[in-house]
């Protein structure tokens, strides 16, 4: 068997493994198996690359693989589950950055033969660079290095202007055939700046959608550069990632009842609420003992986890509390909003790590009708996804966004670190409801106190 036939056959196997892996990742039950299959496909694609005709610099390739693989292995071992969103963001950004660098090197070497190849390389470089710089900004926000969203004066004019200028410079590169070094530098500087400008104002419930969008852009960039290099593995991987990311982004945007253009050009912030009608009522505090008693003597409790649970690393305590309640005959379920947390599936990952059975975790569409029969809705560090202003307040920036109907439970207990607004800066009308009580403090400490009181009540 010739090397070329072996390579083609291997790429066919890689494509099958990628598709099977992606299909398996659609369910928490089979997700681990899917990751293994996709990883095996990527390993095969990497090893087969060494057999490509004309391949050189094997020593540098091995060194690069050793360094990159070592960093990834170490990072995967030490990363906390609460830090997974920023890890996903930065790794995704690296993929886009790598695609942009490939295009930059091809342009610098004058290897762009043909207008179609040059156009695809330029398009891949543009979206790859945007994904890289945008993902870096997302990482700094998720890591807490950037404390809040930043909106430029005339934000949308900046977005449109920089995007148009970048496309114009890119078109000039394609038309020239052999762009000058300064032209290449200006193009990439503009593309990187565009990613930064677009991502700076993003926050709150928009963040998971943006991370998913950049994931899709990275896939597309890799696919385009795979065509430029004539590498089927990159084309296959790029198409699969780009298509999956695009579908996920559309589904999440639909779950928020907001078009993608609205998320990018009109991100959720608390500014739109300023000057609007004030929320009537006051926040009423509850003690850990009272919260424990409300749930201990309830028939049904629905837990709504949010980013506050992730920050406090309280998922294990939450499941311990749920097991205690179930031992006393209380029915406990977990309700997950599609954009809860800081990345797609964030809450599902945390609950799975804590050992919560999959059959106790429900999506919004599955469980929303059950809140009216729940004695207690326990909201742990969630804000926008349970804010009833999304239904009633037309002045609210989240108006029209589907939410979890936690406010319709007989009693609502909200675990919150303080009295300020959430990450997006939007006041939550749920906190002021007549049937709502606030349990202040870190989720880890607050739930631990509730657990202690449940044990006392059950003794």
What sign does the CA torsion over 231, 114, 244, 150 have?
positive
In the block, tokens 């599609």 appear at: 338
Token look-up 């990742």 returns 25
DSSP at 433 = -
Q: Show the beta-strand stretches assigned E in 279-421.
A: 300-305, 331-336, 361-363, 376-380, 411-416
Asked about 407 being catalytic, the answer comes back as no
Residue with tokens 């926040």: 283
Tell me the CA distances in angstroms from 130 to 37, 95, 116, 316, one per residue in order. 29, 11, 21, 37
Burial 214-232 (b: 16+ CB within 10 A, else e): bbbbbbbbbbbbbbbbebb
Spot the catalytic one: 83, 363, 384, 407.
384
Chain-centre distance of CA 191, in angstroms? 22
Among the listed residues 256, 288, 222, 193, the one whose alpha carbon sits nearest the alpha carbon of residue 384? 256
Phi/psi region, residue 370 (left: phi>0; alpha: psi -120 to 50; beta: rest), is alpha
Residue 278 is given by DSSP the state P
Active-site positions read 384
């Amino acid at each position: 068997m010739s090397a070329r036939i072996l390579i083609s056959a291997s790429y066919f196997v890689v494509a099958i493994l990628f598709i099977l892996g992606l299909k398996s990742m659609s369910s928490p039950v089979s997700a681990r198996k899917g990751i293994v299959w996709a990883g095996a496909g990527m390993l095969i694609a990497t090893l087969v690359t060494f057999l490509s005709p004309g391949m050189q610099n094997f020593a540098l390739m091995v060194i690069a693989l050793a360094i990159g693989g070592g960093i990834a292995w170490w990072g995967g071992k030490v990363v906390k589950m609460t830090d997974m969103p920023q890890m996903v963001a930065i790794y995704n950004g690296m993929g886009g950055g790598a695609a942009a660098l490939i295009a930059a090197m091809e342009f610098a070497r004058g290897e762009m033969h043909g207008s179609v190849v040059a156009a695809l390389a330029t398009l891949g470089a543009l979206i790859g660079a945007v994904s890289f710089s945008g993902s870096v900004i997302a990482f700094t926000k998720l890591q807490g290095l950037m404390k809040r969203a930043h909106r430029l004066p005339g934000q949308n004019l900046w977005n449109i202007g920089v995007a148009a200028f970048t496309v114009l410079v890119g078109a000039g590169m394609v038309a020239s055939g052999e762009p000058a070094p300064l032209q290449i530098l200006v193009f990439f500087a503009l593309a990187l700046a565009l990613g930064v400008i677009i991502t700076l104002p993003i926050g709150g419930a928009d963040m998971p959608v943006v991370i998913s969008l950049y994931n899709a852009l990275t896939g597309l960039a890799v696919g385009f550069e795979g065509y430029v290099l004539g590498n089927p593995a990159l084309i296959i991987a790029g198409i699969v990632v780009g298509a999956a990311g695009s579908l996920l982004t559309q589904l999440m945007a639909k779950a928020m009842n907001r078009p993608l253009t609205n998320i990018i050009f009109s991100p959720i912030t608390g500014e739109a609420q300023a000057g609007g009608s004030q929320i009537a009522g006051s926040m009423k505090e509850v003690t850990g003992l009272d919260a424990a008693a409300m749930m201990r003597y309830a028939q049904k409790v629905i837990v709504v986890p949010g980013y506050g649970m992730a920050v406090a690393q309280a998922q294990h305590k939450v499941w311990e509390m749920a097991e205690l309640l179930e031992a006393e005959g209380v029915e406990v379920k977990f309700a997950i909003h599609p954009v809860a947390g800081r990345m797609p599936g964030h809450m599902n990952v945390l609950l799975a790590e804590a050992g919560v059975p999959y059959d106790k975790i429900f999506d919004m569409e599955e469980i929303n009708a059950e809140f009216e029969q729940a004695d207690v809705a326990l909201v742990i560090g969630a804000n926008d996804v349970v804010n009833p202003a999304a239904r009633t307040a037309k002045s609210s920036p989240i108006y029209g966004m589907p939410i979890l109907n936690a406010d319709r439970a007989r009693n609502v207990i909200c675990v919150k670190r303080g009295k300020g607004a959430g990450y997006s800066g939007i006041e939550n009308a749920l906190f002021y409801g007549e049937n709502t009580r606030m349990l202040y403090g870190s989720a880890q400490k607050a739930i631990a106190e509730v657990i202690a009181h449940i044990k006392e009540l059950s003794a």
